[in-house]
């Protein structure tokens, strides 16, 4: 039996794409290899978001050379966002000639065909296409879990935040029809799936360009009716498009988890303008007030970039101010890194390494303190947890997530996919610990 192994970098979109690659390979009769050393096909699904993602990728490619030498018949395929960057593909073609197949984000569906071309021919197969407006619904998906699944609702992005490469690697924003999404979720529910995570770079603008009367709030309401599904999550929400209608839908749909990922990026109005984010600090804070007024127990997470070109100490203090006011349940913090082809990459850059590090450390310290306080409040409460399996950090414990998306390690005897009640008896900033109640 021929086997495959997929290494996935980057975000949930890429994870979902890797599930599609797995789905196509299984249709062709391949099975998942137990480990990377013993595979017939190795696929690297890349991400372009940060400089160190590039470095890590080329580091990995170098190390795969050894595997290729020992197993010359193994097919090495690289795909994903980095392959939509011409300069990266050029480097691979010139310096990493042992790569067998290169494909991009828009021709994922052709992978089985490209694979056959490589197997039947002598030469490497490279095929990258620029943006296309077609959504390929026919691709089979092999979901990583039975009890929870990613469901993409939009692809691409039209926002062009000045630091971001995603609009270039993923193309223009396209929405799937509500019929296709509802059918996918119904079929997942029939197979026992309990939680869905709706994916889009900006789910709030779902429906744009579709020939039907739909928007994200309506989609949530329809998904909420599907029997079997018990939890609905979604990401990412762009603050500029978060409407009252959508906040109402989150509040009113019982299956929709009271949890939102609302990237701030910066708390400074001049930086937000330079980032082309199209909202102000004041508007952002008013959204948080609205959310908490309507849904008092909502948990909120965010993304923040430190050191965008021209960020001053005063700008940074505005970011800290928002973090202090909002008290995020979690925050992904990034140090700005210029991405080739973006507008921000051409802006002059004068922030020193030591200033960057200092700002980053202050932000992390503030955020970790907030998370410690928030986690502490869970101690003594009973939480509904959807079991994911055994904990990765402590094999004697199970792990899962609360509806508020807190990670919980717990003692008990539930199985993957079981929804159980857990008494929380301990908390760290990053996770809770507890015991399952009978």
**Contacting positions for ligand F3S (CB under 6 A):** 10-11, 13-14, 47-49, 81, 165-166, 169-170
Structure-token pair, residue 19: 């599930």
Rounded to 10 degrees, the C-alpha dihedral 351/334/217/181 comes to: 130
Structure-token pair, residue 410: 């717990």
Binder of residue 50, out of ligand SAH, ligand SF4, ligand F3S, none (CB less than 5 to 8 A by kind): ligand SAH
Q: Exactly one of 5, 30, 336, 410 binds ligand SAH (CB under 6 A); which one? A: 336
Binder of residue 336, out of ligand SF4, ligand SAH, ligand F3S, none (CB less than 5 to 8 A by kind): ligand SAH
Instruction: Give the pairing type, strands 31-32 and 101-103.
Output: unpaired
Restricting to residues 295-324, which ones interact with ligand SAH according to CB under 6 A? 303, 305
Helix (H) or strand (E) holding 332: strand 330-335
Restricting to residues 78-117, which ones interact with ligand SAH according to CB under 6 A? none
Q: Exactly one of 104, 263, 412, 417 binds ligand SAH (CB under 6 A); which one? A: 263
In a 13 Å sphere around the CA of 16, the CA atoms on its Cβ side amount to: 18
Least distance from C-beta 277 to ligand SAH, angstroms?
8
Piece of the chain touching ligand SAH by CB under 6 A; list 55-63, 161-169, 206-214, 267-275:
161-169
Least distance from C-beta 276 to ligand SF4, angstroms?
8
201 makes contact with ligand SAH (CB under 6 A) = yes
278: left (phi > 0), else alpha (psi -120 to 50), else beta?
left
Backbone angles phi, psi at 221, to 5 degrees: -65, -35
Binder of residue 305, out of ligand F3S, ligand SF4, ligand SAH, none (CB less than 5 to 8 A by kind): ligand SAH
Distance CA 415, CA 75 (A): 36
Binder of residue 320, out of ligand SF4, ligand SAH, ligand F3S, none (CB less than 5 to 8 A by kind): none
Binder of residue 397, out of ligand SF4, ligand SAH, ligand F3S, none (CB less than 5 to 8 A by kind): none
Structure-token pair, residue 228: 């079997």
238 makes contact with ligand SAH (CB under 6 A) = yes
164 makes contact with ligand SAH (CB under 6 A) = yes
Q: Exactly one of 5, 57, 163, 328 binds ligand SAH (CB under 6 A); which one? A: 163
Binder of residue 334, out of ligand F3S, ligand SAH, ligand SF4, none (CB less than 5 to 8 A by kind): ligand SAH
Least distance from C-beta 157 to ligand F3S, angstroms?
8
Closer Cβ to ligand SF4, 171 or 434, answer by number: 171
Query: How many CB atoms lie under 10 A from the CB of residue 214?
Result: 18
Binder of residue 160, out of ligand F3S, ligand SF4, ligand SAH, none (CB less than 5 to 8 A by kind): ligand SF4
Distances (CA, A) of 416 to 2, 398, 405: 28, 9, 16
Burial of 399-415, coded b for 16+ CB within 10 Å and e otherwise, reads bbbbbbbbbbbbebebe
Structure letter (DSSP) for residue 345: G
Least distance from C-beta 357 to ligand SF4, angstroms?
23
Closer Cβ to ligand F3S, 129 or 317, answer by number: 129
Instruction: Give the pairing type, strands 174-175 and 154-155.
Output: antiparallel
Structure-token pair, residue 254: 């019982």
CB-based contacts of 195, cutoff 8 Å, min separation 6? 147, 148, 149, 229, 230, 231, 232, 233, 386
Instruction: Find residue 232's DSSP bridge partners.
Output: 196, 256
Interaxial angle between packed helices 313-326 and 353-376, expressed in degrees from 0 to 180 and rounded to the nearest 10: 10
Binder of residue 167, out of ligand SAH, ligand SF4, ligand F3S, none (CB less than 5 to 8 A by kind): ligand SF4
Which residues here bind ligand SF4, judged by CB under 6 A? 157, 159-161, 164, 166-167, 201-202, 238
Least distance from C-beta 155 to ligand F3S, angstroms?
10
Least distance from C-beta 125 to ligand SAH, angstroms?
29
Binder of residue 47, out of ligand F3S, ligand SAH, ligand SF4, none (CB less than 5 to 8 A by kind): ligand F3S
Distance CA 214, CA 209 (A): 10
CB-based contacts of 210, cutoff 8 Å, min separation 6? 175, 177, 178
Least distance from C-beta 348 to ligand SAH, angstroms?
16
Distance CA 239, CA 244 (A): 12
8 Å CB contact between 105 and 84 = yes
162 makes contact with ligand SAH (CB under 6 A) = no
With CB under 6 A, what is the number of residues at the site for ligand SAH? 17
Structure letter (DSSP) for residue 132: -
Contact positions vs ligand SAH (CB under 6 A):
49-50, 163-164, 166, 201-202, 236, 238, 263, 265, 303, 305, 334, 336-337, 339
């Amino acid at each position: 039996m021929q086997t495959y192994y997929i290494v996935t970098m980057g975000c949930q979109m890429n994870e979902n794409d890797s599930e599609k690659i797995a789905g196509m390979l299984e249709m062709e009769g391949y099975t998942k290899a137990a480990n990377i050393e013993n595979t017939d096909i190795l696929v690297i699904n890349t991400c372009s978001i940060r400089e160190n993602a590039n470095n890590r990728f080329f580091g990995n490619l170098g190390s795969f050379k050894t595997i290729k030498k020992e197993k010359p018949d193994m097919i090495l395929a690289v795909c994903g966002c980095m392959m939509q960057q011409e300069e990266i593909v050029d480097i691979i073609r010139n310096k990493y000639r042992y790569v067998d197949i290169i494909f991009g984000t828009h021709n994922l569906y052709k992978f089985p065909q490209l694979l056959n071309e490589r197997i039947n021919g002598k030469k490497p197969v490279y095929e990258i296409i620029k943006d296309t407006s077609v959504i390929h619904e026919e691709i089979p998906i092999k979901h990583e879990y039975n009890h929870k699944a990613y469901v993409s609702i939009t692809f691409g992005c039209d926002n062009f935040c000045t630091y971001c490469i995603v609009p270039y690697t993923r193309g223009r924003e396209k929405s799937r029809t509500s019929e296709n999404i509802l059918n996918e979720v119904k079929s997942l529910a029939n197979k026992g799936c309990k939680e869905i995570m709706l994916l889009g770079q900006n789910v709030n603008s779902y429906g744009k360009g579709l020939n039907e009367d739909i928007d994200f709030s309506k989609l949530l309401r329809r998904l909420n009716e599907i029997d079997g599904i018990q939890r609905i999550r979604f990401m990412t929400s762009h603050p500029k498009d978060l409407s009252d209608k959508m906040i109402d839908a989150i509040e009113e749909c019982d299956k929709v988890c009271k949890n939102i990922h609302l990237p701030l990026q910066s708390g400074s109005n001049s930086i937000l303008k330079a980032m082309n984010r199209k909202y102000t600090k004041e508007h952002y804070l008013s959204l948080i007030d609205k959310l908490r007024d309507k849904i008092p127990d909502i948990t909120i997470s965010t993304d923040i970039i430190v050191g965008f070109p021209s960020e001053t100490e005063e700008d940074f203090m505005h970011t800290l101010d928002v973090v202090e006011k909002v008290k995020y349940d979690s925050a992904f913090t990034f140090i700005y890194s210029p991405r080739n082809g973006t507008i921000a990459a051409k802006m002059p850059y004068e922030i020193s390494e030591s200033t960057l590090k200092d700002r980053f450390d202050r932000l992390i310290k503030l955020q970790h303190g907030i998370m410690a306080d928030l986690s502490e409040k869970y101690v003594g409460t009973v939480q509904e947890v959807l079991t994911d399996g055994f904990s990765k950090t402590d094999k004697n414990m199970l792990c899962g997530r609360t509806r508020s998306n807190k990670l919980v390690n717990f003692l008990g005897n539930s199985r993957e996919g079981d929804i159980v009640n857990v008494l929380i008896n301990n908390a760290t900033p990053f996770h809770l610990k507890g015991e399952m109640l009978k």
